[in-house]
Amino acid sequence: MSSDDQLISEEYGKFQSLIMGNGVDVDMIRKAWEFAKIAHFGQRRNTGEPFVLHALEVGKKLYEWKLDTESIVAGILHDTVEDGGAEKEDLSKEFGEEVAVLVDGVTKISDIKLRGSMNEEFIENLRKMFLAMAKDLRVILIKLADRLHNMKTLHGLDPAKGGRIAKETLEIYAPLAERLGMGQLKAELDDLAFPYVYSDEYKKVLNQSRAFYKYAESHIEKMKRALLSAFSDFNLKCTISGRKKHLYSLWKKLERPDIEWDFEKIHDIMAMRILVETVSDCYKALGIVHGIYKPVPHIGISDFIAQPKPNGYRSIHTKVFGHEGKIVEIQIRTYIMHEEAENGIAAHWAYAGEKSKKGVDEEKLEKLSFGKSFSKLSWVKQLADWQKEIKDTKDYLNAVKFDALSSRIFVFSPKGDVFDLPVGATPVDYAFSVHTDLSGYIKGAKVNGKIVSLDHQLISGDVVEIIKTKNYKQPSADWLDFVKTTQAKSQIEKQLRKADNPI
């Protein structure tokens, strides 16, 4: 047995003992593994590793996301058609139509060239990808698992190619993960891509943040001890942990005009996370926290349980004065909300799968109420519904031309982040969708490098830049006449009310 063979069989052995007895079809997965080994025989990745280990990593990630056997099998087989010379017919014969369709979907998405962004072709490609997603969301989840492992092994590529893939990851895949509510994956993809796309800035943030992370860590540790004892006095079960703000999002925050690289203004470089059993425990926990640490006036509490974020995110955030008057963000949520926040759609899928199994307690599953937040992803769902209406799959390619997203446009920040907005949206809508704080500094706007009026109607592919004032500027009541998003409308009204009734 060569050392390669040995490595390959050892790695699979580990995976097999991981999945054994955990509700997946171990025999079918093993069969996929044997198939992939033959298809990728002798192939190597650019890192020098046997190719088939890449397939295994993808399958493993899908298992971690608690996806079904078909997804894991398709994950292991995902490159056998494109790189391994297998035929779709072989797959459907060996593993069934469902798996074959999943692999085919992943292969098709891989053909979509997403690079060379910010033109019409790019938007069209983005649309195709969304259509593929709507057809079967598992296709996108497999693709995301694939991309994650590719990013982890990017060092095997030459820097120019690696840089392009990293840029695409930042522009497309990370925002897509975010939109699917997969916060953990988004953070991971961002941070893997960051050093390749903005290497100087990456080094700068890395070096300058080190001391702040270290200080925050010890500070959080002190607060954790105080809180744990308070929670036990109140007999409330909880898990408390610290979470580091991921580097890429730290950088983006540092770049904001209201922060301007002042680390003192960043209150969530480390946040505390308190996990409890039920929603009512969340509010009890909030009471206990505020009993020890006072909330910071004005910026204190955001209740995303009462009002979830558009991607379904639920949690209570409170900014409190910790020890030595340091401001610290504390996030309070249930275990379920946490699972949902970390794994988003994948979590939803896992529970939907549970539901279809017999003998599962319906009531218990209802309580998890994943469906509720899933519906927040309404435009994805709309696409899915529309897709179902297309009976003849031959119409598929034609259907791509039919503008399913005609009510949405996609615009870009100067850094290449994608924002989706309703048709007719203006630079002001854009500013509010980037961040409420940006909206307090609007002086003017540029679209594709040219100055435009604030009521200028954006179109897909526009690169939008907000020209900022130096100091906070209250929104103008006139903006209400042309903004399109409810987010902008309600924020403008809120800020105007505040100005009328200063506290």
91 to 150, contacts with Mn ion by CB under 5 A?
A: 146
Q: Which is nearer to Mn ion, 146 or 340 (CB)?
A: 146
Q: Is 82 known to be catalytic?
A: yes
Angle at 418 between CA 416 and CA 420, to 5 degrees: 155
194 secondary structure, DSSP code? H
Handedness of CA 97, 99, 104, 109 (dihedral sign): positive
Q: Which is nearer to Mn ion, 136 or 146 (CB)?
A: 146
3-state secondary structure of 412: strand
Q: Which is nearer to Mn ion, 146 or 178 (CB)?
A: 146
Structure tokens at 193: 């891509």
Angle at 346 between CA 344 and CA 349, to 5 degrees: 115
Contacts 24+ apart (CB under 8 A), 110-119: 110/82, 110/143, 114/168, 114/171, 114/172, 115/164, 115/167, 115/168, 117/168, 117/171, 117/412, 117/416, 118/412, 118/416, 118/461, 118/463, 119/461
Q: Which is nearer to Mn ion, 92 or 110 (CB)?
A: 110
User: Which residue stretch of 78-86, 324-332, 426-434, 462-470 sits at the interface with Mn ion (rule: CB under 5 A)?
Assistant: 78-86
Q: Cβ atoms within 10 A of the Cβ of 278, count?
A: 12
Do 414 and 438 meet the contact criterion of CB atoms below 8 Å apart? no
3-state secondary structure of 450: strand
Min dist CB 36 to Mn ion, Å, is 11
Min dist CB 143 to Mn ion, Å, is 9
Min dist CB 334 to Mn ion, Å, is 35
Min dist CB 305 to Mn ion, Å, is 38
Q: How far is CA 270 from the centre of its chain?
A: 19
Q: Which is nearer to Mn ion, 84 or 344 (CB)?
A: 84
User: Which residue stretch of 73-81, 96-104, 256-264, 456-464 sits at the interface with Mn ion (rule: CB under 5 A)?
Assistant: 73-81
Active-site choice (49, 82, 417, 455): 82
User: Which residue stretch of 72-80, 234-242, 282-290, 409-417 sits at the interface with Mn ion (rule: CB under 5 A)?
Assistant: 72-80
- The DSSP bridge partners found for residue 327 are 321
Structure tokens at 252: 């983006």
Examine residue 57 and tell whether it contacts Mn ion (CB under 5 A): no
User: Which residue stretch of 74-82, 205-213, 284-292, 362-370 sits at the interface with Mn ion (rule: CB under 5 A)?
Assistant: 74-82
Q: Which is nearer to Mn ion, 57 or 190 (CB)?
A: 57
Min dist CB 132 to Mn ion, Å, is 16
Min dist CB 47 to Mn ion, Å, is 13
Do 286 and 316 meet the contact criterion of CB atoms below 8 Å apart? yes
Structure tokens at 409: 């446009």
By CB under 5 A, the count of residues binding Mn ion is 2
Q: Is 5 known to be catalytic?
A: no
x/- binding map, residues 409-448, to Mn ion, per CB under 5 A? Answer: ----------------------------------------
- Residue-wise over 109-130: b if at least 16 C-beta within 10 A, else e? bbeeebeebbeeebbebbbbbb
User: Which residue stretch of 35-43, 79-87, 136-144, 170-178 sits at the interface with Mn ion (rule: CB under 5 A)?
Assistant: 79-87
Instruction: Name, in order, each residue with C-beta under 8 angstroms of 188's C-beta and a sequence gap of 6 or more.
Output: 148, 246
Q: Which is nearer to Mn ion, 161 or 381 (CB)?
A: 161
Min dist CB 30 to Mn ion, Å, is 20
Min dist CB 149 to Mn ion, Å, is 7
Handedness of CA 226, 230, 232, 236 (dihedral sign): negative
Q: Which is nearer to Mn ion, 79 or 168 (CB)?
A: 79
Helix 183-197 and helix 159-168, axial crossing angle in degrees, nearest 10? 140
Q: Which is nearer to Mn ion, 55 or 454 (CB)?
A: 55
- The DSSP bridge partners found for residue 316 are 303, 332
Tell me which of 79, 171, 268, 339 binds Mn ion, using CB under 5 A. 79
Q: How far is CA 62 from the centre of its chain?
A: 16
Do 338 and 322 meet the contact criterion of CB atoms below 8 Å apart? no
Residue 197 CA to residue 154 CA, distance in Å, equals 12
3-state secondary structure of 224: helix
x/- binding map, residues 143-182, to Mn ion, per CB under 5 A? Answer: ---x------------------------------------
Q: Which is nearer to Mn ion, 177 or 305 (CB)?
A: 177
Residue 435 CA to residue 477 CA, distance in Å, equals 19
Min dist CB 32 to Mn ion, Å, is 14
Which residue, among 336, 296, 346, has the nearest Cα to 315 in the 3D structure? 336
Min dist CB 7 to Mn ion, Å, is 19
Minimal CB distance to Mn ion: which residue? 146
Active-site choice (83, 201, 420, 455): 83
Q: Which residues are catalytic?
A: 82-83
Binding site for Mn ion (CB under 5 A): 79, 146
